[in-house]
Structure 1
Amino acid sequence: MKPVLDESFAYFYDKKAFGPALPGGAVTPEHLARYRSKLPARLLAYWQHFGFAGFGDGRFWLVDPAEYEIALSTWIQGTPFEGIDDYFVIGRSAFGRLDVWGTRTGPSLSILPMWGMLFPSDKSKWMKEGKADFLVSMWIERMDKVDLDETDEDDQPLFERAMKLLGPLHDDEMYGFVPALALGGPCRLDHIQKVKSAEHLTLLAHLGEREIMMDIVKEAKDRGVWK
């Protein structure tokens, strides 16, 4: 079924060739009731239309935030993000990138667990202006297959080769390096396995130091370059 949700999703689904959707977990009335006051109405509309589905052959997944509560809390524990907002994981890549929504800060945090990196991005200005639905649409529209992939030690993309070797992912799976890169494992195809995503991402949070990257927007504001 082609999306009829908004132009941003149509661009993501058709023009950027993330369709067709892969089946995932069902979205229940309980899901909608739980998150109606916490997440944008447009995101819930995506859920209702597709469920917690995969896109781009499984490069990207809409997810049930509840399944990633433990992984998320473990990743932000002891960082400046802990306690400053109510955060929810709303998307995940095949290699475990977590896209995080804050009720006050919007799509303001991405976590790359394989590399121990947290990328903040200040969206509070738009949230204060009531643009949550717009931010969700832009988040989907800007999704990029190259950014969702990982490269090996020779800078060669891994997703398609991993899928050919190991088979496609289910909605609760990801491609993980074993041993983990944080433990000195090599970044090679022959060290990738299918793993349970929520459990593996929680494990990775315990293995190494977290590196908080620069928030380019905040830096520009602090320097008076952008208001």
Structure 2
Amino acid sequence: MDKVFARFIEKFGEPTGREEVPPSSIDRYKGKLPNILLEYWAEHGWGGYGNGIFWIVNPQEYEGVVASWLEGTKFEAIDNYHLIARSAFGNLYFWGEKTGASLDITSHLSRYSTHTSIYTGDLMDKGFQSFLLSIDVELNDYGDLFQPAIKKLGPLRHDEMYGFVPALMFGGPDTLDHLEKVKAVEHLTLLSQIAELQPYSFSDL
């Protein structure tokens, strides 16, 4: 294990729900995702960290989610994006083939933020390592609800997330009582259809 991934695990916690990555998946994303990420896949698989608060995922499973969120937006013309990671509450981390770690979406709020990465072209490996080290545990824990959610609902499987029911964009409250364990792909697709994707504004922070 290299130093960067070791630091990531030290910060987030040991892996959970590991899935082995088949060679066909690594071949599928060669030239599209950083080589170092594909190496991490081969060594560590896809899976959760910190009891499942953060997940490194199979982008192929989320192709429909990416299409549903980005269809009709300016991002379609900017880059080809792949979902490489997500949080237990649906913070989505996209990787652009040309722009690297340049787009995040907070799905339950239908808000996005963009970043201009200096690590493009031949620097994509450094870009992914920088992304991995920049991920913050607290920012992936919506309202400090993660530990209470695990206690009430149980830990997540690789294809699950904690979702508010009814969704916040339908006016539902963001309380533990309205959290449920839901299928990630289906719930993220539903959230993409409720409200138009908007940029974060200072009033959201």
Q: TM-score of the superposition, structure 2-length normalised? A: 0.94
What is the correspondence of 1:141-160 to structure 2 with a 5 Å cutoff? 141-151=133-143, 157-160=144-147
Question: Alignment partner for residue 139 of structure 1, among 118, 131, 135?
Answer: 131
Alpha-carbon distance between aligned partners in 2 of 1:19 and 1:113, rounded to the nearest angstrom: 24
Alpha-carbon distance between aligned partners in 1 of 2:120 and 2:182, rounded to the nearest angstrom: 35
Aligned to 2:194: 207
Does 2:95 align with 1:101? Answer: yes
Which AA in structure 2 matches 1:136? F
In angstroms, what is the RMSD of aligned CA positions? Answer: 1.2
Question: Alignment partner for residue 24 of structure 1, among 18, 22, 45?
Answer: 18
Question: Alignment partner for residue 198 of structure 1, among 165, 185, 193?
Answer: 185
Shift of 1:77: 1.4
Q: TM-score of the superposition, structure 1-length normalised? A: 0.86
Does 2:40 align with 1:40? Answer: no
Alpha-carbon distance between aligned partners in 2 of 1:169 and 1:209, rounded to the nearest angstrom: 28
Equivalent pair of 1:12/1:142 in contact (CA under 8 Å): no
Which deviations, in whole Å up to 9, do the C-alpha atoms of 1:101-128 show, x marking residues without a partner?
Answer: 00100011001110000111112x4213
Shift of 1:147: 0.6
Secondary structure of 2:89 counterpart: coil
Does 2:114 align with 1:126? Answer: no
Runs of 4+ in 1 over 6 A off after TM superposition: none
Equivalent pair of 1:8/1:141 in contact (CA under 8 Å): yes
Percent identity of paired positions between Structure 1 and Structure 2:
43
Shift of 1:8: 1.8
Question: Alignment partner for residue 158 of structure 2, among 154, 160, 171?
Answer: 171
Aligned to 2:176: 189
Count of matched residue pairs: 201
